[in-house]
């Protein structure tokens, strides 16, 4: 880029100053802000009277309220929340912090987080004063400290009482609490690394930084190495989760009396069924289910549950006296079935592949392919783009497409989205690299050799090109594979029309006319290209549709009508009155804030007319604000002219139309759910990436302040979206993987 405000290199002295300022800010945040309790406790200890610490407080068993009982070997159990309290020693009444302590080397299942409240009884007062509300995590040492609040200056504490705010039956490793003078200094390597990454990101997007000056070069070893280092933590986290889940896996099935059975091992059940040569799952059923006139009727099911007839599986397909899964079978064939077969070599029948392990593998691969596909798009149509715009494009694609949701919730509901995104991005990556041109440095005799061609870019114009049949075939095969994962992603196949517009015209000319064309295709080669583009669809669709017929007697019956869910879907006819409201939730649902970390929470989605809805995380255009800005830029004639020059306008219109179509189908058939937005969010993000790169190309002359303003707004919008993505990740982890969330949350909830 040549924008004066963005590209002009910062002087060496200015760069040094920026680095020093960043270092100072990181140190202030780590040593000062995140360790404020340490310095305050030191100041209080120095100014206070000669008081004892936790070490010289009289050692005695803390008195328990009637709602707590001690467990054998240590720990506590809540028997009545109304009386679940522990008396805390007071010492000299001047301490400002208290420390929880726990039983050691005890076995059993205990809460990973404990909601508490520390009440005070001040000298001279008749009543208790409600004090600190806190969250104690046994595995997070920093959360063991609570600030003693509610004590006026100069007042002395006569008694303290720790209330356990957990439901009846909760088991706690906590055994008591004691006042403490000094909170230890906590230097957290993960937090320091995160602060350093944030500082590097901000420095990278300041005017004059190297990111604005260095162009994307996919052949650069240095740039490839940096990309690998950026993706390495995600790959490492995925590998850790896979091995952890494999080593600790137990089948996830839950059942309460008079309720449905929640069994989250659908994919493994399908794998075992296929190994035994049958389409139905080897699962029992409630005796009255097969005799019921309409087993899908809600009243009938409720009556069977009231009689405690078991099992009735939630969100499974029930058809002709057998249980099935309506989820796509392709992940079973690629992962779960091979795992069963391979592990059967060491154990009769094999082992079940944990769904969370499969999800971790698929989402890691999908993330990598999304990055590679985005970079290839930019390299082909915007070869002079700078690394700053590349970074913004990746932030938009990964943050806006719902990838964070898939990372945070790894269960059988996310497997179809993981696999479909992987298939789509792999297919687009292959397709975008299919048009090839000869390398100018290659000798005439090496044209047919390996590496003698490279990917066509927009700067090649009308240079002679040819289409790589292996890339075309594999790309079509990959996109068609979404039929066996989540069919809504098949819409991506229509992107081949604008992507291969030149090639399609050349093939048609070769097969049906005698007109000349740029590629100079023979009819034989044109026919082979047509076969490579269409044959994979048949190769994927034929066995999958036969599988439907094997199960339900119809090629086009995927079984979703027979789900045991909130409705009788065999008789449900969704209305259209609430669709606009559902659209509004998908795109513009407002954020719901909290006064404490993570500062956001799931937002309700009430409907005026009944439609299935779940709480959301905010509308797509709200959580990814750069989308609004890029869509607004499409109104500028100069932008549209540049898009037309690069022949992207038809593709953008088609992508937006497909996004609207898929959103309408999801809203009509499924209602509102955060995960459903993944079906179409990636299409809108794809449009945003192209518009963003076009804006950087359009304003590269830098002669107007409008260009600097546009790029500055795009940068701020991307960074704001990154912050919202991080916060929403914390919200998701709090619901689906609390232990992971608390590793970060404790930085903000500590005293």
DSSP string, 649-677: HHHHHHHHHHHHHHHHHHHHHT-B-TGGG
Phi and psi, residue 179, nearest 5°: -65, 150
pLDDT at 28 over 80: yes
> What pLDDT does 54 receive?
40
Does 522 or 391 have the greater pLDDT score? 391
Q: What is the mean pLDDT of residues 703-712?
A: 82
Q: In which band, very low, low, confident or very high, does the pLDDT at 383 lie, cut at 50, 70 and 90?
A: very high
Question: Could you tell me what percent of the chain has a pLDDT over 90?
Answer: 62
Out of 49-63, 144-158, 639-653, the most confident range is 639-653
Q: Which residues contact 479 (CB under 8 A, 6 or more apart)?
A: 423, 424, 427, 428, 431, 490, 492, 493, 496
pLDDT at 423 over 80: yes
- Mean pLDDT for the chain? 89
> What pLDDT does 122 receive?
86
pLDDT at 52 over 50: no
> What pLDDT does 50 receive?
42
pLDDT at 61 over 50: no
The answer to whether 218 and 89 have CB atoms below 8 angstroms apart is: no
Q: In which band, very low, low, confident or very high, does the pLDDT at 546 lie, cut at 50, 70 and 90?
A: very high
> What pLDDT does 533 receive?
94
The answer to whether 377 and 690 have CB atoms below 8 angstroms apart is: yes
User: For tokens 């993981």, what's the residue?
Assistant: 418
End-to-end CA distance of the chain: 46
C-alpha span between 274 and 280 (Å, rounded)? 8
> What pLDDT does 492 receive?
95
> What pLDDT does 696 receive?
92
> What pLDDT does 521 receive?
75
Q: Give the model confidence (pLDDT) of 290-311 as tens digits.
A: 889 899 999 999 999 999 898 9
> What pLDDT does 516 receive?
54
pLDDT at 223 over 60: yes
Q: In which band, very low, low, confident or very high, does the pLDDT at 450 lie, cut at 50, 70 and 90?
A: low
pLDDT at 447 over 60: no
C-alpha span between 541 and 229 (Å, rounded)? 38
For residue 258, is it left (φ>0), alpha (ψ between -120 and 50) or beta? left
Does 656 or 742 have the greater pLDDT score? 656
Of 622, 631, 641, nearest to 689 (Cα)? Answer: 631
Q: Within 13 Å, how many C-alpha atoms sit on residue 167's CB side? A: 0
pLDDT at 268 over 60: yes
> What pLDDT does 425 receive?
98
pLDDT at 419 over 80: yes
Does 137 or 393 have the greater pLDDT score? 393
For residue 329, is it left (φ>0), alpha (ψ between -120 and 50) or beta? alpha
Q: Which CATH class is domain 38-180?
A: mainly beta
Q: In which band, very low, low, confident or very high, does the pLDDT at 728 lie, cut at 50, 70 and 90?
A: very high
pLDDT at 585 over 90: yes
Of 396, 471, 465, 457, nearest to 685 (Cα)? Answer: 396
What are the residue boundaries of the structural domains of the chain, listed by start?
13-34+189-205, 38-180, 221-236+356-437+453-556+575-746, 251-353
């Amino acid at each position: 880029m040549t924008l004066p405000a963005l590209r002009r290199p910062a002087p060496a002295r200015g760069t040094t100053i920026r680095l020093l300022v960043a270092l100072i800010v990181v140190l202030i945040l780590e040593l000062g802000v995140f360790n404020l309790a340490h310095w305050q406790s030191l100041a209080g200890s120095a100014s206070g009277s000669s008081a004892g610490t936790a070490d010289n407080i009289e050692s005695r068993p803390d008195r328990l309220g009637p709602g707590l009982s001690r467990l054998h070997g240590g720990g506590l159990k809540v028997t009545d929340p109304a009386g679940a309290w522990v008396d805390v020693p007071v010492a000299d009444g001047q301490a400002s912090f208290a420390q929880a302590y726990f039983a050691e080397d005890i076995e059993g299942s205990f809460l990973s987080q404990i909601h508490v409240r520390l009440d005070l009884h001040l000298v001279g007062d008749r009543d208790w004063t409600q004090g600190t509300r806190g969250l104690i995590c046994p595995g997070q040492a920093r959360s063991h400290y609570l600030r003693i609040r509610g004590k006026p200056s100069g007042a002395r504490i006569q008694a303290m009482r720790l209330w356990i705010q957990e439901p009846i039956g909760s088991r706690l490793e906590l055994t008591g609490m004691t006042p403490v003078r000094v909170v230890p200094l906590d230097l957290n390597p993960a937090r320091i690394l995160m602060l350093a990454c944030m500082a590097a990101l901000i420095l990278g997007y300041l005017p004059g930084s190297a990111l604005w000056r260095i162009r994307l070069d996919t052949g650069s070893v240095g740039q490839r190495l940096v990309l690998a280092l950026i993706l390495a933590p995600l790959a490492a986290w995925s590998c850790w989760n896979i091995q952890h889940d494999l080593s600790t896996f137990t089948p996830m099935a839950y059942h309460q009396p008079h309720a449905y059975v929640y069994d989250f091992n659908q994919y493994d059940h399908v794998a075992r069924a296929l190994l035994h040569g049958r389409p139905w799952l080897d699962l029992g059923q409630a005796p009255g289910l097969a005799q019921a006139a309409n087993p899908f009727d809600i009243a009938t099911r409720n009556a069977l549950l009231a009689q405690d007839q078991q099992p009735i599986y939630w969100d499974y397909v029930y058809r002709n006296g057998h249980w099935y899964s309506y989820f796509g079978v392709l992940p079973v064939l690629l992962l779960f079935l091979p795992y069963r077969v391979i592990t059967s070599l060491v154990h009769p029948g094999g082992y079940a592949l944990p769904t969370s392990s499969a999800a971790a593998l698929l989402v890691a691969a999908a993330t990598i392919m999304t990055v590679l596909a985005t970079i290839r798009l930019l390299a082909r149509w915007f070869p002079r783009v700078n690394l700053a715009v590349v970074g913004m494009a990746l932030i938009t694609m990964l943050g806006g497409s719902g990838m964070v949701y898939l990372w945070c919730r790894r269960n059988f509901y996310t497997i179809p989205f993981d696999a479909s995104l992987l298939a789509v991005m792999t297919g687009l990556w292959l397709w975008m690299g299919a048009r090839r041109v000869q390398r100018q440095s290659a000798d005439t005799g090496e044209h047919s050799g390996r590496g003698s061609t490279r990917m066509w870019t927009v700067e090649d114009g009308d240079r002679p090109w040819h289409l790589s049949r292996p890339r075309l075939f594999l790309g079509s095969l990959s996109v068609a594979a979404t039929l066996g994962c989540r069919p809504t992603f098949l819409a991506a196949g229509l992107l081949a029309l604008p992507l291969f517009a030149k090639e399609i015209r050349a093939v048609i000319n070769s097969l049906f006319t005698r007109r000349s064309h740029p590629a100079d295709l023979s009819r034989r080669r044109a026919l082979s290209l047509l076969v490579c583009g269409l044959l994979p669809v048949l190769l994927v669709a034929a066995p999958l549709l036969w599988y439907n017929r094997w199960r339900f007697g119809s090629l086009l019956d995927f079984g979703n009508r027979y789900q045991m869910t909130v409705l009788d879907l065999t008789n449900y006819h969704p209305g259209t009155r609430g669709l606009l409201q559902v659209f509004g939730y998908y795109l513009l649902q407002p954020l719901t804030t909290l006064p404490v970390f993570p500062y956001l929470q799931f937002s309700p989605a009430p409907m005026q007319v009944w439609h299935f809805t779940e709480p959301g995380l905010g509308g797509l255009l709200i959580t990814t604000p750069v989308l609004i800005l890029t869509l607004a830029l499409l109104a500028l004639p100069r932008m549209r002219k540049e898009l037309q020059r690069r022949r992207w306008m038809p593709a953008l219109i088609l992508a937006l139309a497909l996004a609207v179509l898929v959103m309408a189908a999801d809203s009509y058939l499924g209602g509102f759910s955060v995960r459903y937005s993944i079906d179409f969010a990636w299409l809108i993000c794809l449009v945003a990436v192209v518009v963003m790169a076009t804006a950087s190309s359009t304003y590269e002359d830098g002669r107007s302040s409008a260009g600097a303003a546009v790029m500055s707004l795009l940068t701020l919008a991307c960074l704001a979206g990154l912050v919202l993505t991080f916060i929403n990740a914390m919200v998701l982890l709090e619901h689906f993987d609390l232990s992971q969330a608390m590793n970060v949350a404790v930085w903000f909830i500590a005293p």
